[in-house]
């Protein structure tokens, strides 16, 4: 039984990290139909900023993390306004090529500026310890990840359903033309959601730094996982991404516990099965 | 047609550029090709090879056996046998190297065995640790270590400490499986049992599940081997954070407390026991000279098994150049290498004439804090160990 | 070439009776000549040229799927990898003859393409793309697990290949390997050119442009796509077999996502859909990677990244037209 509990805890934590990173990509894909393969790079940038600020500049963790998230949001907004919005009308393959090129650039830049070693984010003593749950000792950081993921899901859901921005967002995802004809400022919505997606990716990179080590190739290495979550959860669907991320996270963790020499076989088998069953996303009718 | 023209032009330019960057052969210069990862997650190996090799050449006054030496570096990226083979083929055919060095990953070394055999190019392995590599070609000489070499004494020590049940957790590739087999057979010989053998995929980043399995196995200790770099860091952190030490499961390792990442563990690493052939604080004048030369060459470089593997590798190449008088004679060079015996920064070493593998002291170390730094303090020497994997 | 360009061409030239397509042997001949010249002028780079030819063959097969049929896939490396492993295992365990091994590689690639295509082609767009990733990763996991056959993370090595046609030994310099790869590439290019220009190829291109319309015309869409995907798999398998035979080693990297992504990048760089674009993209990217990496292994990604972004931001067609308007004011 304790194995089951272990699988659930580790799996949910892993799933939460994937969810937080994937939200931005899901919204961008659903809203702007923009294939942004540099999304992983935002997660990397967020993680690196937090790591450098806490370690090199000696800032407090609680200050460095929000600053890192804001920096990533800023980077996202700047990129969107200056470069990416001109690509919205281009063919998907062109978008793929460009964003892969951008990822390469960010990988090379990170390597040049910081070096190829893994970056660790030193946690404050409150989070660095272990929590003894009786049947197992858990790094406190995992609990933070689960909590943060739930908080992000809650805030995102609230934003989308209860605020005016959320209404604008949903309208724009459903039909951009009509939404803009009705006076919704599409450009602002696009820029803001892109920046928010980048910020969340950065947050996810920070949260996941223990599970997915920060090194220059991070941008492309974990891209597949994030794409899988977006595909299975359905583009543009936040609750879909959450369900997909947690489900796939638990399956991957279960296979690590029970059948580790099969690698990620079960993860991708499950993914293929889920996609075949619900091609448009888990929760889309 | 417009696209084809533009890209054809750039293709032509690229081809011309690659043709022009071909190094011109100089009659007297000895060329040594160093093959290793210079990009990607294992890029630190490349940097350390470079630092160690160049530091050695500098320490000999810039020339080896009176001849100028040109080091040509090629990037394999990671375990990439096909690319490594292409790079080495180019080094041999186009750059006409006299010696080869480097090699971090077993598959890369295996892939070039037929090439070096056919071209009779002596190749010194600075890192790759699977025993069977040196059997693939007569021109391989190894200055690193093998898993059998460091695991057998560890298993013997574990048994002497009274441990009866141990679980092995290794990365699922050649050296890892060597480590598992070596530990199991030696530990069984000493009367203990390996209760479970866990193999972890090379691409694992989250070791939490494996650490939980270790805990659930009921063993008194865990013996582990990981390839160096991010996986080692992840595993040791998972070991600490999941409270295995508190649960009474001892840590028995080899390269996990490698000086490169050691400082990142903090106090959680204190007391971890490993069996390995080199520690940065090995107390000898030769080692002190090595560390100084290394720091002079590259202040960021760390004195660890990779940089010392390169240093000693260049020593072997130096002696091979001496023995052949600077001429390209693979058979003579390797014959000379077989007879080598010297005091290395790691301790007294010699090359085994039968296996062409380095015979060296293996030490038991425990992590200690000295001032600001964590170090691997050598607690005990197991004496000279050969490559037990090839003894059969 | 779509309907609009065909129409435009017809309208401009009064003599519209002759077909506007280039003869199918032109591109292969040009490729053959360029390849032979390269092999003669740069004999020391033979192994690099071999890699260029093999990569070009892989990207060519990807062009069939992506450019001609419109099936954007990120799992093409699986077809390459099974061809490589099949040829390698065959050489190791059964017989080391290169041409038979090549046939085995082709068969393996075609078989996997057929089997996976039967499932994959029921889906379209982003779903299809992600499912190709899943299939490729599943194949990779299986290859990793089957250590006894594939060597796992250590790679499959230790096999040698008999002299080609009984006479040409695979020499150390790699000249025979380069010519062998070039020959296979040229033959494949010719065959694919014939295929793409045939009624079958036209039907597939029609499906790419408008699936519903083709279905309404009575074309069995699924069947056509499956056949095309199988052919693409066969060509990719051939590329894999060549890779296994010329380097005598097969690693798990031949099944990796990174390889699929790189092939796609090369294809888009050179231009998808015309088959020749695949060759150009593969050549440019491989040579660039090689040159940049040997100059500075740390920073070659900068060069490639900027190149990719530039190529998208300033489409070569537009740049060429702008240059022409500046330079040739009278034309």
pLDDT of B23: 41
Six-digit token pair at C165? 């046609």
- Between residues B69 and A166, the one the model is more confident about: B69
Size of interface A-B (CB pairs under 8 A): 77
- B11, B43, B86 ranked by CB distance to C247: nearest: B86
Q: What mean pLDDT do residues A183-203 have?
A: 88
Distance from C-alpha of B257 to C-alpha of B236, rounded to nearest angstrom:
8
Residues of chain A contacting B247 with CB distance shorter than 8 Å: 137
CA A250 to chain centre: 17
Residues of chain A contacting C253 with CB distance shorter than 8 Å: none
pLDDT of B392: 47
Least confident interval from A24-33, C68-77, C126-135? A24-33
Going by C-beta distance under 8 Å and a sequence separation of 6 or more, which residues neighbour residue A55? A119, A120, A121, A122
Distance from C-alpha of A16 to C-alpha of B95, rounded to nearest angstrom:
51
pLDDT of B21: 47
Residues of chain B contacting C249 with CB distance shorter than 8 Å: 81-82, 85, 107, 110-111
- A137, A257, A261 ranked by CB distance to B199: nearest: A261
- Whether residue B28 has pLDDT greater than 80: no
SS3 label, residue B116: helix
Q: What mean pLDDT do residues B115-124 have?
A: 92
DSSP string, C270-315: H-TTSSHHHHHHHHHHHHHHHHHHHH-TTTHHHHHHHHHHHHHHS-
- Asked if residue B348 lies in contact with residue B361, where contact means CB atoms within 8 angstroms, the answer is yes
pLDDT of C330: 47
- In chain C, the percentage of residues whose pLDDT exceeds 70 is 90
pLDDT in tens, C110-119: 999 999 999 9
Distance from C-alpha of A89 to C-alpha of C304, rounded to nearest angstrom:
24
Q: What mean pLDDT do residues C234-263 have?
A: 91
pLDDT in tens, C284-318: 999 988 887 777 766 777 888 888 888 888 876 67
Distance from C-alpha of B66 to C-alpha of B281, rounded to nearest angstrom:
32
CB of C219 within 8 Å of a chain B CB? The answer is no
- Hey, CA dihedral for B347, B348, B351, B355, is it positive or negative? negative
> Using the beta-carbon criterion (under 8 Å), do B2 and C317 form an inter-chain contact?
yes
Other Cβ atoms less than 10 A from the Cβ of C209: the count is 11
Distance from C-alpha of A55 to C-alpha of A113, rounded to nearest angstrom:
15
Residues of chain A contacting C306 with CB distance shorter than 8 Å: 101, 105
Confidence of residue C20 (pLDDT cuts 50, 70, 90): low
Confidence of residue B236 (pLDDT cuts 50, 70, 90): confident
Q: Which domains does chain A have, with CATH numbers?
A: 2-122+139-277 (1.10.3470)
Confidence of residue B94 (pLDDT cuts 50, 70, 90): confident
pLDDT in tens, B290-316: 999 999 988 888 899 999 999 999 999
Distance from C-alpha of A213 to C-alpha of B360, rounded to nearest angstrom:
34
Distance from C-alpha of A47 to C-alpha of B55, rounded to nearest angstrom:
35
- Whether residue C201 has pLDDT greater than 90: yes
- Give the start-to-end residue ranges of the domains of chain C: 3-330
Residues of chain B contacting A132 with CB distance shorter than 8 Å: 243
Distance from C-alpha of C253 to C-alpha of C244, rounded to nearest angstrom:
12
pLDDT of B391: 62
Other Cβ atoms less than 10 A from the Cβ of B379: the count is 11
pLDDT of C16: 47
Confidence of residue B12 (pLDDT cuts 50, 70, 90): low
- Asked if residue A271 lies in contact with residue A255, where contact means CB atoms within 8 angstroms, the answer is no
Least confident interval from A93-102, C201-210, C220-229, C321-330? C321-330
pLDDT of C240: 96
pLDDT of B6: 57
Confidence of residue A75 (pLDDT cuts 50, 70, 90): very high
Q: What mean pLDDT do residues C140-158 have?
A: 86
Angle in degrees, CA B259, B261, B263, rounded to 5: 80
Sole residue written with tokens 């096909």: B82
pLDDT in tens, B146-190: 888 999 999 999 999 889 999 999 988 888 888 999 999 999 999
Interface test with C, best of A98, A223, A237 (most C CBs within 10 A): A98
Confidence of residue C328 (pLDDT cuts 50, 70, 90): low
ipTM of the prediction: 0.86
Least confident interval from B132-136, B205-209, B364-368, C238-242? B205-209
> Using the beta-carbon criterion (under 8 Å), do C153 and B43 form an inter-chain contact?
no
- B39, B200, B212 ranked by CB distance to A6: nearest: B212
CB of C227 within 8 Å of a chain A CB? The answer is no
Going by C-beta distance under 8 Å and a sequence separation of 6 or more, which residues neighbour residue C287? B11, B14, B15, B18, C48, C52
CATH topology of domain C3-330: ABC transporter involved in vitamin B12 uptake, BtuC (1.10.3470)
pTM of the model: 0.86
- B3, B15, B130 ranked by CB distance to C271: nearest: B3
pLDDT in tens, C44-89: 888 889 999 999 999 999 999 999 999 999 999 999 999 999 999 9
Other Cβ atoms less than 10 A from the Cβ of C318: the count is 11
Residue of C nearest to A221 (CA): C258
- Whether residue C272 has pLDDT greater than 90: no
Residue A86 is classified by DSSP as G
Least confident interval from A61-65, A228-232, B4-8, B301-305? B4-8
> Using the beta-carbon criterion (under 8 Å), do C268 and A90 form an inter-chain contact?
no
Report the helix count and the strand count for chain A, using DSSP H and E: 13, 2
- Whether residue B44 has pLDDT greater than 60: yes
> Using the beta-carbon criterion (under 8 Å), do B206 and A256 form an inter-chain contact?
yes
- Asked if residue B346 lies in contact with residue B145, where contact means CB atoms within 8 angstroms, the answer is no
pLDDT in tens, A243-253: 999 999 999 98
pLDDT of C45: 83
Mean pLDDT of chain C: 87
pLDDT of C192: 94
Q: What mean pLDDT do residues A258-272 have?
A: 87
pLDDT of C317: 67
> Using the beta-carbon criterion (under 8 Å), do B230 and A118 form an inter-chain contact?
yes
Interface test with C, best of B38, B71, B78, B82 (most C CBs within 10 A): B82
- Between residues C258 and B345, the one the model is more confident about: B345
């Amino acid at each position: 039984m304790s194995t089951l509990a272990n699988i659930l805890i580790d799996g949910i934590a892993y799933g939460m990290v994937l969810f937080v990173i994937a939200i931005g990509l899901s919204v961008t894909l659903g809203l702007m139909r923009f294939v942004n393969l540099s999304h992983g790079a935002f997660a990397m940038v967020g993680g690196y900023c937090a790591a450098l600020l806490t370690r090199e500049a000696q800032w407090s963790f609680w200050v460095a993390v929000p600053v890192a998230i804001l920096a990533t949001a800023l980077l996202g907004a700047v990129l969107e306004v200056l470069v990416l919005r001109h690509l919205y009308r281009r063919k998907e393959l062109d978008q793929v090529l460009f964003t892969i090129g951008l990822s390469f650039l960010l990988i090379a830049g990170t390597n040049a500026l910081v070096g190829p070693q893994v970056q660790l984010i030193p946690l404050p003593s409150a989070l660095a310890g272990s929590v003894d749950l009786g049947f197992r000792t858990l790094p406190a950081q995992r609990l933070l990840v689960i909590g943060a993921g739930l908080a992000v899901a809650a805030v995102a859901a609230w934003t989308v359903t209860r605020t005016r921005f959320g209404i604008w967002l949903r309208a724009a995802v459903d039909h951009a033309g009509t939404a803009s004809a009705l006076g919704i400022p599409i450009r602002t919505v696009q820029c803001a959601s892109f920046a928010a997606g980048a910020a969340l990716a950065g947050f996810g990179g920070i949260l996941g730094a223990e599970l997915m080590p920060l090194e220059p190739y991070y941008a492309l290495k974990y891209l597949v996982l994030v794409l899988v979550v977006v595909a299975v959860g359905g583009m543009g669907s936040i609750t879909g991404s959450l369900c997909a991320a947690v489900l796939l996270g638990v399956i991957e963790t279960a296979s690590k516990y029970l059948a580790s020499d099969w690698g990620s076989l079960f993860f991708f088998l499950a993914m293929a099965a889920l996609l075949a069953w619900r091609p448009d996303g888990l929760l889309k009718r | 047609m417009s696209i084809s023209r533009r890209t054809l032009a750039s293709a032509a330019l690229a081809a011309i550029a690659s043709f022009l960057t071909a190094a011109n052969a100089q009659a007297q210069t000895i060329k040594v090709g160093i093959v290793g990862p210079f990009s990607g997650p294992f890029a630190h190996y490349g940097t350390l090879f470079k630092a160690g090799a160049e530091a050695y050449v500098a320490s000999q006054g810039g020339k080896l056996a009176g001849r100028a030496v040109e080091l040509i570096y090629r990037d394999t990226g990671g375990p990439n046998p096909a690319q490594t083979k292409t790079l080495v083929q180019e080094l041999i055919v186009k750059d006409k190297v006299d010696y080869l060095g480097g090699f971090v990953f077993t598959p890369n070394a295996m892939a070039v065995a037929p090439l070096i055999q056919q071209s009779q190019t002596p190749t010194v392995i600075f890192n790759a640790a699977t025993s069977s590599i040196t059997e693939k070609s007569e021109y391989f000489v190894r200055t690193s270590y093998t898993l059998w070499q460091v695991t057998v004494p560890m298993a013997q020590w574990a048994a002497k400490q009274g441990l009866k049940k141990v679980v092995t957790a290794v990365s699922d590739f050649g050296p890892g499986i060597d480590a598992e087999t070596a530990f199991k057979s030696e530990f069984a010989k000493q009367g203990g049992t390996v209760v479970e053998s866990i193999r972890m995929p090379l691409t694992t980043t989250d070791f939490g599940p494996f650490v939980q399995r270790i805990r659930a196995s009921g063993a008194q200790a865990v013996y582990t081997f990981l390839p160096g770099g991010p996986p080692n860091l992840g595993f040791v952190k998972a070991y600490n954070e999941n409270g295995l030490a508190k649960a009474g499961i001892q840590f028995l390792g080899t390269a996990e407390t490698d000086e490169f990442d050691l400082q990142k563990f903090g106090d959680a690493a204190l007391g971890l026991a490993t069996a390995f052939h080199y520690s940065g604080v090995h107390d000898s004048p030769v080692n002190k000279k090595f560390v100084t030369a290394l720091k002079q060459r590259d202040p960021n470089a760390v004195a660890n098994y990779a940089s010392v593997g390169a240093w000693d590798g260049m020593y072997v190449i130096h002696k091979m150049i001496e023995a052949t008088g600077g001429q390209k004679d693979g058979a003579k060079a390797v014959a000379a290498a077989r007879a080598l015996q010297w005091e290395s920064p790691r301790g007294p070493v010699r090359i085994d004439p039968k296996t062409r593998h380095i015979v060296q002291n293996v030490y038991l170390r425990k992590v200690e804090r000295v001032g600001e730094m964590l170090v691997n303090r050598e607690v005990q020497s197991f004496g000279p160990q050969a490559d037990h994997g090839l003894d059969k | 070439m779509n309907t609009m360009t065909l129409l435009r061409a017809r309208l401009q030239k009064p003599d519209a009776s002759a077909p506007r397509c280039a003869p199918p042997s032109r591109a292969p001949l040009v490729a053959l000549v360029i390849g032979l010249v390269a092999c003669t002028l740069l004999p020391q780079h033979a192994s690099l040229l071999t890699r260029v030819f093999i990569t070009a063959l892989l990207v060519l097969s990807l062009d069939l799927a992506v450019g001609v049929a419109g099936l954007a896939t990120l799992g093409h490396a699986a077809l390459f990898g099974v061809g490589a492993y099949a040829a390698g295992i065959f050489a190791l365990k059964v017989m080391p003859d290169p041409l038979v091994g090549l046939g085995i590689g082709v068969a393996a690639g075609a078989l996997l393409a057929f089997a996976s295509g039967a499932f994959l082609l029921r889906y379209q767009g982003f779903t299809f793309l992600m499912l190709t990733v899943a299939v490729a990763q599943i194949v990779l996991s299986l290859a990793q697990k089957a250590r006894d056959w594939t060597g796992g993370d250590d790679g499959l090595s230790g096999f040698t290949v008999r002299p080609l046609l009984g006479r040409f030994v695979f020499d150390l310099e790699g000249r025979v390997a380069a010519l062998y790869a070039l020959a296979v590439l040229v033959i494949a290019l010719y065959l694919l050119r014939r295929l793409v220009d045939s009624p079958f190829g036209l039907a597939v291109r029609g499906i790419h442009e408008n699936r519903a319309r083709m279905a309404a015309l009575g074309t069995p869409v699924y069947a056509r796509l499956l056949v095309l995907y199988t052919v693409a798999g066969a060509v990719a398998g051939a590329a894999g077999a060549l890779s296994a035979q010329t380097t005598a080693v097969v690693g798990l990297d031949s099944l990796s996502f990174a390889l699929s992504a790189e092939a796609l990048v090369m294809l888009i760089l050179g231009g998808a859909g015309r088959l020749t674009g695949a060759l150009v993209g593969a050549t440019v990217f491989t040579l660039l990677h090689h040159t940049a990496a040997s100059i500075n292994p740390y920073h070659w990604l900068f060069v490639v990244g900027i190149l990719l972004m530039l190529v998208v931001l300033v489409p070569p067609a537009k740049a060429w037209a702008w240059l022409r308007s500046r330079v040739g004011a009278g034309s």
